[in-house]
Amino acid sequence: MQYNTEDINHLIRNRRSVFPNQFIAGKKVDENIIKEILINATWAPNHAQTEPWFFKIFSNEGLQTFANFQSELYKQEAGASFKEDKYVKMQTQPLMASHIISIGMKRNEAKCIPEIEEIEAVACAVQNIYLSVSAYGLGGYWTSGGITYIDKAKTFFGLGEEDKLLGFFYIGHVAVPSPAAKRKPLEEKVEWVKG
Ligand SMILES: Cc1cc2nc3c(=O)[nH]c(=O)nc-3n(C[C@H](O)[C@H](O)[C@H](O)COP(=O)(O)O)c2cc1C
């Protein structure tokens, strides 16, 4: 099957991160679309068919549950580095989204492949989410901020000790599109070998 490569190139090159303050507040994304996006996520390449992703989806009142959890855990763990504005942001920002997806890597029990490859596969799944969100005309972004790397957060997101929390994907309808972006010239990033 031949796809429309012009469309695909356009989608890949014009996909942009869209942040929560650019979302239409309170406007919900149809859950069937979220499911399609998640199905696309699970079609990412993965070594040895371990399918190492695990997603937990927060919507409706679940957004408040998420906000409470992350802000309280931050408060508990921050110690001397606690910042009131960061705490308030953790309480309020999730409520700007329609859906938040926690991005987890579940380590294959047999550990048949290196951990980094399980993480790489999940990153591929997230790119599928990014592209699908764009294709549906929605906005979203991957954040590894907040409580992502606090080990105690894992259980809440359905992850065990050997697993990794890789962040959160926020999705919403777009009120303010992101500006065009830039990438470095290809010549800086590739080297051709022809002989
Ligand atoms: C692993 C990963 C973690 C990220 N974490 C954050 C984050 O914590 N905060 C943020 O503003 N953007 C985050 N981003 C999104 C980047 O800021 C965004 O991809 C980058 O600015 C390029 O913009 P584009 O996605 O529109 O091409 C993350 C992206 C990746 C791949």
Q: Is residue 125 part of a domain?
A: yes
The rounded distance, in Å, linking the Cα atoms of 118 and 48 is 10
Whether 12 contacts 78, CB under 8 Å: no
Using CA positions, which residue lies closest to atom 27 of ligand 1? 16
The rounded distance, in Å, linking the Cα atoms of 105 and 165 is 6
Two tokens, residue 138: 């929605």
Using CA positions, which residue lies closest to atom 9 of ligand 1? 143
Question: For position 156, what pLDDT does the model report?
Answer: 98
**The domain containing residue 118 runs over which residues?**
5-188
Question: For position 53, what pLDDT does the model report?
Answer: 98
Ligand 1 mutation pick, 89, 141, 171, max ligand atoms within 8 A of CB: 141
Could you tell me which of 150, 147, 172, 48 has the C-alpha nearest to residue 107?
48
Question: For position 50, what pLDDT does the model report?
Answer: 97
Identify the three-state secondary structure at position 169: strand
Q: Is residue 193 part of a domain?
A: no
Q: Is residue 195 part of a domain?
A: no
Count Cβ atoms within 10 A of the Cβ of residue 73 and give its class: 0-12 exposed, 13-18 middle, 19 or more buried.
middle
Two tokens, residue 34: 């979220």
Q: Is residue 56 part of a domain?
A: yes
Verify whether ligand 1 is closer than 6 Å to residue 143 (CB atom): yes
The rounded distance, in Å, linking the Cα atoms of 49 and 168 is 23
Q: How many domains does the chain have?
A: 1
Using CA positions, which residue lies closest to atom 21 of ligand 1? 17
Count Cβ atoms within 10 A of the Cβ of residue 192 and give its class: 0-12 exposed, 13-18 middle, 19 or more buried.
exposed
Identify the three-state secondary structure at position 195: coil
Say which residues have a Cβ less than 8 Å from residue 89's Cβ, sequence separation at least 6.
Answer: none
Phi, psi of 139 (to 5 degrees): -125, 155
Two tokens, residue 36: 């399609």
- Residue given tokens 């492949």 in the structure block: 113
Number of alpha carbons in the 13 Å side-chain half-sphere of residue 139: 21
Whether 104 contacts 166, CB under 8 Å: yes
Q: Is residue 139 part of a domain?
A: yes
Each residue's pLDDT expressed in tens, for the chain with a length of 195 residues: 999 999 999 999 999 999 999 999 999 999 999 999 999 999 999 999 999 999 999 999 999 999 999 999 999 999 999 999 999 999 999 999 999 999 999 999 998 999 999 999 999 999 999 999 999 999 999 999 999 999 999 999 999 999 999 999 999 999 999 999 999 999 999 999 999
Using CA positions, which residue lies closest to atom 19 of ligand 1? 17
Whether 25 contacts 92, CB under 8 Å: no
| Amino acid sitting at position 51 | E
Two tokens, residue 47: 């070594």
Question: What CATH number has the domain bearing residue 96?
Answer: 3.40.109.10
Q: Is residue 80 part of a domain?
A: yes
Ligand 1 mutation pick, 19, 23, 133, 142, max ligand atoms within 8 A of CB: 142
* Cα 14 to middle of ligand 1, angstroms: 15
Q: Is residue 124 part of a domain?
A: yes
